[in-house]
Structure 1
């Protein structure tokens, strides 16, 4: 029998549509709009039930902290989780590395120095296949690349279901005046194409966004926007919306603060074998300022 890769809850939280998970993966910057000469930001990254509250696991990021050790405080024999690949893009399009990184029991932390004026983008993108099937009456699950599918998943299985997954998590930060270079879409997966700049959001005002799937307008994408601090509220405070036929939607921010935006789409478009369905998700942490 070929080996089955058993992925942890964190791997699922990062790679699968986020609304399908009990936990949310996120990055939280110390600020998104800054002034002064070469300011710094600190970014926390975690997986949690309550938004922007540290109570489950750190989001393990390549180049941030010692990833070769088991999480502190975890059960005996617990193996390190797969590390996410972080991209930090400067206003001129160049790439930066995270600085002063560390990983703790509940969160990962790193710094970014904003040496250029303009808008930066921090992004974590994942893609791959998710398969489930029955073996001797038990449900088996696997996640990996298309190249490893044939090696890791038995050729003859019962009730085999294969889904093509992609996810993207982003944060935008601006030093000085906003710029547009990092807002250019990659043309891969589900993406946000801002009409209103993501660092120009104010309470009581509407922001216009366009969502793209593989570079084309994505219609009927379900959007969820949740203000941070839900641990301290009786109600989630969720704002729900859906894109129109051109992938457009508008969101009016009820108050200032940090928000978590999630978009999710299930489709049969752009599906490659052996998958029979496709799930794409997008999330971003957005700061809304007082007018």
Structure 2
């Protein structure tokens, strides 16, 4: 009974601590480093309060892009979507590093119609069809997001980690599948291919459900968009960044919000 009371208290504390936090999107592979003749990985895609647990909703796989080591696009297999997560399998037919990305670019609008507050989300193509031309107090934001993880078969390398130059992206100065506890990794945050200076980055270790504090690491990029982190211990980590500005905004939006999230595995020494 004591254990049950302790678990209940931790659950209440976690709910209180995280209630104000947005649900965090992630791609979680069964393994980030493999070897052998065409090994497989299974990947879960979800948004959750406790990262790497499944307590909110699945992520749709419509916008999934898998970049193989030679730069070609690989196809997932056995895709499915359940109540709390989507899943797929990936055969690693090439040696080198793969990048798995969920990329979206939408518009979000708020406005009043006949005195009632309305909210809308969709593509730029559907905006004029679905949002009234005479909408009052119209506010439109361009929202782009990128959710990623990385998997390597054998020796790291290849073209998969190349930057697209669109939206918020992570440039790996340290390979994302060569992260070791106690060592320092360096990354560069880019927005539309250019350094994202003075941006805020949050890093959270998995296992939120089982500790009383979030224990996030808060970082800032320098003038070149670069930041460093010394990994305190081995495990799975969630990295997130977001930028809000009015640059490169497409009409009818006047502002944009670009977000990036990555799942990284840190191995023991």
The alpha-carbon deviation at position 108 of structure 1 amounts to: 1.6
Residue equivalent to 1:153: 131
1:48 aligns with 2:26: no
The alpha-carbon deviation at position 258 of structure 1 amounts to: 0.5
Residue equivalent to 1:247: 225
Alignment of 1:56-205 (within 5 A): 56-62=56-62, 85-205=63-183
1:218-264 deviation per Cα after TM superposition (whole angstroms, max 9, x unaligned): 11221111111101110111011111111111111111000111110
Residue equivalent to 1:32: 32
Distance 1:133 1:220 in 2: 32
Q: Structure 1 residues 113-122 or 51-60, which shifts more?
A: 51-60
The alpha-carbon deviation at position 60 of structure 1 amounts to: 2.5
What TM-score do you get using the length of structure 2 for normalisation? 0.89
Distance 2:128 2:81 in 1: 34
What TM-score do you get using the length of structure 1 for normalisation? 0.83
Distance 1:139 1:21 in 2: 24
The alpha-carbon deviation at position 44 of structure 1 amounts to: 1.1
Distance 2:188 2:124 in 1: 30
Distance 1:289 1:267 in 2: 36
**5+ residue gaps in structure 1?**
1-19, 63-84
Give the root-mean-square deviation of aligned CA atoms: 1.4
1:222 aligns with 2:200: yes
Distance 2:143 2:127 in 1: 14
1:282 aligns with 2:260: yes
**5+ residue gaps in structure 2?**
1-19
